[in-house]
Amino acid sequence: MKKILKIIAITLLVLLSLSCQQKEKPQPSIKVYPNVEVSYIDYAIMNEINIVRLENNCDLLTFKQELTNVAATHSNWMATNEKMDHHYYTERQKHFPEQLLGEVIAFNFRTANATVQAWLKSPKHREVMLSKKYNYFGVATAYNAQNRPYVTALFLTK
């Protein structure tokens, strides 16, 4: 009987340890609105962007889920192809007819602050981030096989 209990206990421990192992580490997320979750890094990037906007006398931007969804598609494309590129921008623009869409992208910055600071150092990216034309934004990060982040931030007018 003790031998059977020992075998059951070992089997349960093995099964428990296997169920806890994951091939791909999920990114932690946070609820920004009821039923809306974004990764912590994306949430942090959006906060950093709004802090910089406030410091530069710009209005805060409002999170828009559709922008994050479109940004995620592009970040995933960049990570899969290991290419930082504004490729297919016109396709992203088609999701928002009659509205102005701005885009900034980044690769391999490990923190929200580092990502936003890099954008601020680029005149074109800075112009997009601090434009008073935009009212909404969405951010998405995807990781390549080497766990290097690719980030897309989209900005939209009303």
Tell me the per-residue pLDDT of 5-61, one tens digit each, with 9 for 90 and over: 444 444 433 333 333 433 344 455 544 544 556 788 999 999 999 999 999 999 999
Query: What is the identity of the amino acid at 54?
Result: L
Query: How far is 94 from 142, CA to CA, in rounded Å?
Result: 22
- Coil/strand/helix, residue 56: coil
Q: What is the pTM of this model?
A: 0.78
Angle between helices 40-55 and 112-121 (to 10 degrees): 40
Residue 16's DSSP bridge partners are: none
- Coil/strand/helix, residue 53: helix
CB under 8 Å to 1, separation ≥6 — which residues?
none
Query: How far is 145 from 46, CA to CA, in rounded Å?
Result: 25
Neighbours of 27 (CB within 10 A): 14
Tell me the per-residue pLDDT of 115-156, one tens digit each, with 9 for 90 and over: 999 999 999 999 999 999 999 999 999 999 999 999 999 999
